[in-house]
Amino acid sequence: MTTSNYQVSAEFPRVTTAQIERAKKFQAAILCDVAGRRGTLNSRVQALHPAMRVLGPAFPVEVRPGDNLMFHVALAVARPGDVIVVDGKADDTCALFGELMVAQAEAAGLAGFVVDAASRDTDTLAGGNFPIFSTGRNPCGPTKGLPGTLGRPVSVGGVSVNPGDLIVGDVDGVVVIPREQVDAVLDAAEAKVAAERGRLEEIARGELVSPWLNGALQSAGLPAL
CATH number of the domain bearing residue 48: 3.50.30.40
Q: Same domain for 39 and 147?
A: yes
This prediction's pTM: 0.92
Q: Same domain for 192 and 109?
A: no
Over its length of 225 residues, how does the chain's per-residue pLDDT go in tens digits?
444 455 557 889 999 999 999 999 999 999 999 999 999 999 999 999 999 999 999 999 999 999 999 999 999 999 999 999 999 999 999 999 999 999 999 999 999 999 999 999 999 999 999 999 999 999 999 999 999 999 999 999 999 999 999 999 999 999 999 999 999 999 999 999 999 999 999 999 999 999 899 999 999 999 988
Q: Same domain for 95 and 160?
A: yes
Is the four-CA dihedral 127, 124, 112, 117 of positive or negative sign? negative
Residue 175 lies in a domain: yes
Q: Same domain for 192 and 134?
A: no
Q: Same domain for 145 and 89?
A: yes
In terms of Cα–Cα distance, which of 220, 201, 186 is closest to 25? 186
In terms of Cα–Cα distance, which of 170, 127, 145 is closest to 27? 170
pLDDT reported for residue 9: 74
Residue 225 lies in a domain: no
Q: Same domain for 209 and 137?
A: no
Residue count of the chain = 225
Q: What amino acid is encoded at 144 in this protein?
A: K
Number of domains present in the structure of the chain: 2
Distance of CA 48 to the CA centre of its chain: 13
Q: Same domain for 137 and 195?
A: no
CA distance 57 to 83: 6
Residue 97 lies in a domain: yes
Q: Same domain for 71 and 109?
A: yes
Q: What one-character DSSP code corresponds to residue 212?
A: T
CA distance 92 to 90: 6
Residue ranges making up the domain that contains 111: 3-179
In terms of Cα–Cα distance, which of 167, 150, 164 is closest to 114? 167
Run of H or E including 62: strand 54-62
CA distance 47 to 133: 4
CA distance 222 to 225: 9
pLDDT reported for residue 10: 83
Q: Same domain for 68 and 84?
A: yes
Query: Alpha helices, DSSP H only, in 51-181?
Result: 69-77, 99-107, 122-126
pLDDT reported for residue 75: 96
